[in-house]
Amino acid sequence: MIPGLMQTTPLMISGILTYAAQAHGAREIVSRLIDEPVWRYDYAGLARRAAQLAHALKRLGVKAGDRVTSLAWNTHRHLELFYAVPGIGAVLHTANPRLFDEQIVYTINHAESGVLFFDRNFLPLVERIAAQLTTVKTFVMLSDAERTERGSIGAASYETLIADELEAYPWPSFDENAGAFLCYTSGTTGDPKGVLYSHRAVVLHAMAGGLNSAFGFTAFDVVMPCSSLYHATAWGLPFSAPICGAKLVLPADKMDGASLHQLIEGEGVTFTGGVPTIWTMYLDWLERNGQAPTALKRVVIGGSAVPRAMAEAFKRRYDVQTLQIWGMTETCPIGVVSTPTPSLAALGEAAMDEAIWTRQGRLQFGIELKVETETGAEAPWDGETSGALLVRGPWVVRRYFRKDEDAARPDGWFDTGDIATLDAHGFMRITDRQKDVIKSGGEWISSIDLENIAVGCPGVKIAAVIGVPHPKWEERPLLVIEPHDGVEVGKDAVLAFLAPRIVKWWTPDDVVFARVPLTATGKIDKKVLREAWRGHLMG
């Protein structure tokens, strides 16, 4: 080997900020806040305030490698933490406020954070858990001076903290493999596990996210992340938008249809994204109120399978394209994205829609995929052979934080816990999570496929399918339905809707109507459902 003779400039998150301030300095950032008026500034303003925050962090004694926790919604102040904390070489642990108290405590203690920044409406939560936090010394409320309440924890005001600091910071350059963000999995089984993203992973992931095979941003786009900043950095949108010079709109915690529509229309949002539950509510709101988005072109949806009926409604009613994304905390999180290709377009629009709406997405440069069958052999890319989905690449976890053993195999492959197929076009389709698969008489039934069809039945808001113990077949599918508010849906109507769309032996043994519980990351909580309905088919 002969060494290359190019520069080895490390990939730094602060580099994104510096670039955006220079190249797109006047491009706007708009942020809703919990109880303050809408905030407006631009990338140059973000760079100034992130610099002030960096000085303030230094003053608080935060050093390179230290951890700082945020408990916060999608706001400009949280965005400032996204740049300032890794910018000085520290690590931002984005705690998930929807976890149980003890899990939040566990993650903050496990991260060994010295400072906790929190939004005003988390004050009761922070006061409740403060005594159990073993390393936090400083509490800062993400609020202006007048609204800050010191509470029993003696919280400082964010605005007071940064007010007198210099508006420029000499961002240091260091090893690009240094840790930058610490994100925990939601711990549906066992304690949450920490995934420590490096600068290199975040920057490469953000560059890949901006590509046309993924989100394909231009400087004319107006991007509104509705996936939470605390959940795997909102799919890297706070980084890929500035890299591409897109305007950024932050909705805080207001995810109801009316609030979202107001921002979408008022700010000319062209691109937004979030988990399916948000778009179920938004589509329902649009229909009930006879409204339609005007500038919106694309919605990226992931975290759970996108119901086909949702993608179809966006396209047919509002001319909005749905991009499905599959990923996980362990993959920063982008794994695949469903964008069109010429070979699919050649099949005609209907066939292309069908292919795109029924698959999670296609292979992206930078992340390798493979499916392994039960024998450990690699499955062919035939769209039919299913098995364990493995991933590998520069933004895939190697080892969980503070664990002694690698999570990935020595050759880098990481088992995602999902079951999938890969096809000749490079598209991946998830059939289930390994732990959710329904085993009926030695055959597998895909809960995701059944849910996807059932949710298309008129009046159905959420459809959840679980495997329930059965005296003869080991397990059989039970369909739990949560209808839209004020709508009546009957069992016979649901079964009649399913009949022509599925093979007979997949027919759920029963259909029940109940509220469907969701996890801290907005997914159907099948563990709770299985627990609640386990005896239902045992007679």
Gap between the Cα atoms of 199 and 171, Å rounded: 13
Minimal distance, residue 283 CB to ligand ADP, in Å: 17
Minimal distance, residue 510 CB to ligand ADP, in Å: 24
Q: Does 517 bind ligand ADP (CB under 6 A)?
A: no
Q: In terms of CB distance, is 8 or 189 closer to ligand ADP? A: 189
Gap between the Cα atoms of 490 and 245, Å rounded: 49
Instruction: Name residues contacting ligand ADP, limited to 328-387 (CB under 6 A).
Output: 328-329, 333, 360
Residue type, 379: A
Q: In terms of CB distance, is 143 or 185 closer to ligand ADP? A: 185
Minimal distance, residue 432 CB to ligand ADP, in Å: 8
Q: Candidates 159, 267, 353, 418: give the one binding ligand ADP (CB under 6 A).
A: 418
Strand partners, 465: 479
Q: How many residues does the chain have?
A: 539
User: Which of these ranges, 80-88, 323-331, 437-445, 449-457, lies near ligand ADP under the rule CB under 6 A?
Assistant: 323-331
Instruction: Name residues contacting ligand ADP, limited to 32-71 (CB under 6 A).
Output: none
Q: In terms of CB distance, is 114 or 302 closer to ligand ADP? A: 302
- Residue 492 buriedness (CB in 10 A; 0-12 / 13-18 / 19+): exposed
**Beta pairing class for 67-71 and 91-94:** parallel
Q: In terms of CB distance, is 68 or 388 closer to ligand ADP? A: 388
Q: Does 96 bind ligand ADP (CB under 6 A)?
A: no
Q: Candidates 519, 524, 525, 533: give the one binding ligand ADP (CB under 6 A).
A: 519
Minimal distance, residue 140 CB to ligand ADP, in Å: 27
DSSP-based helix, strand, coil % in the chain, nearest 5: 35, 25, 40
Minimal distance, residue 453 CB to ligand ADP, in Å: 15
Active-site positions read 185, 330, 439, 444
Gap between the Cα atoms of 86 and 198, Å rounded: 9
The pattern of x and - marking residues 429 through 468 that bind ligand ADP according to CB under 6 A reads: -x--x-----------------------------------
Q: Does 324 bind ligand ADP (CB under 6 A)?
A: yes
C-alpha to C-alpha distances, 52 to 46, 67, 89, nearest whole angstrom: 10, 18, 15
The stretches of 383-456 forming alpha helices (DSSP H) are 447-454
Q: Candidates 380, 383, 417, 459: give the one binding ligand ADP (CB under 6 A).
A: 417
Residue among 53, 33, 55, 34 nearest 45 (CA): 53
Q: Candidates 233, 304, 431, 440: give the one binding ligand ADP (CB under 6 A).
A: 304
The stretches of 214-319 forming alpha helices (DSSP H) are 237-244, 257-267, 276-289, 308-318
Q: In terms of CB distance, is 143 or 322 closer to ligand ADP? A: 322
User: Which of these ranges, 8-16, 170-178, 367-375, 517-525, lies near ligand ADP under the rule CB under 6 A?
Assistant: 517-525
Minimal distance, residue 421 CB to ligand ADP, in Å: 13
Gap between the Cα atoms of 537 and 469, Å rounded: 7
Q: Does 523 bind ligand ADP (CB under 6 A)?
A: yes
Q: Does 185 bind ligand ADP (CB under 6 A)?
A: yes
Gap between the Cα atoms of 471 and 229, Å rounded: 45
Q: In terms of CB distance, is 327 or 508 closer to ligand ADP? A: 327
Secondary structure of 96-155 in the HEC alphabet? CCCCCHHHHHHHHHHHCEEEEEECHHHHHHHHHHHHHCCCCCEEEECCCCCCCCCCCCCC
Q: How many CB atoms lie within 10 A of CB 103?
A: 18
Per-residue tokens: 149: 């309440």
Residue owning tokens 């002969």: 2
User: Which of these ranges, 60-68, 104-112, 265-273, 300-308, lies near ligand ADP under the rule CB under 6 A?
Assistant: 300-308
Chain centroid to Cα 182, Å, comes to 14
Q: Candidates 416, 440, 446, 452: give the one binding ligand ADP (CB under 6 A).
A: 416
Q: Say if CB 100 and CB 128 are below 8 A apart.
A: no
Number of residues counted as binding ligand ADP (CB under 6 A): 21
Point out which residues bind ligand ADP (CB under 6 A): 185-186, 302-305, 324, 326-329, 333, 360, 416-418, 430, 433, 519, 521, 523
